Amino acid sequence: MNTTLDFSTSPITKPPYTSVSHLATSPQTDRLPIIVLQPNGSLDSTSSSEFQSVLEESLEQVTEGVIVDLLWVESTDADGIAALVAGIQRATLLGKLLSFQAMDGQTRAALEVEWNRQREISFGPRNDLFEKDLERFLDQLTKR
């Protein structure tokens, strides 16, 4: 059975599949501090671009951040992972928090691999090696 994410294209002021009843708007901005997105079904090539749009719009609208509750997501393919990574990148640019909850292990591992790959493309490979003189100095300190 192949299902896709269930959400509408309603305006971002009332984001689809969100739980906001326990949240109050900020008195200074009339915006929500946090939006909870709860997709369900499959986060795949047929649904990921729309989900990515909703996620990015939600990040634009909140004052603090977005929580993505993946409890009801049955499967995630490469396009779904790319949408989650794009959300991380957008949150970073905006200085907002983005939290993924109830993510299965396989999706988490794929997300970490893709996020590390994107970071390497952007910033180059990690090089944690010290100069040999510094390494010798540190070795001498630990032998004392």
- List domains and CATH numbers for the chain: 34-143 (3.30.750.24)
Question: In a 10 Å sphere around its CB, with 0-12 CB exposed, 13-18 middle and 19+ buried, how is residue 94 labelled?
Answer: middle
8 A C-beta contact, residue 48 and residue 85: no
Confidence at residue 2, expressed as pLDDT on a 0 to 100 scale:
37
Residue 140's pLDDT band (cuts 50, 70, 90): confident
- The residues near 65 (Cβ < 8 Å, ≥ 6 apart) are 33, 34, 59, 91, 96, 97, 98, 99
Residue with tokens 């192949």: 2
Instruction: Provide mean pLDDT across the span 34-45.
Output: 94
More confident residue, 118 or 69: 69
Hey, what are 144's tokens? 């004392």
CA gap 100, 83 in Å, rounded? 13
Mean pLDDT of the chain: 81
Confidence at residue 126, expressed as pLDDT on a 0 to 100 scale:
65
The model's pTM is 0.70
Residue 21's pLDDT band (cuts 50, 70, 90): very low
CA gap 49, 32 in Å, rounded? 24
Classify 54 as helix, strand or coil: helix
Confidence at residue 129, expressed as pLDDT on a 0 to 100 scale:
58
- What's the sign of the alpha-carbon dihedral 4, 9, 15, 19? negative
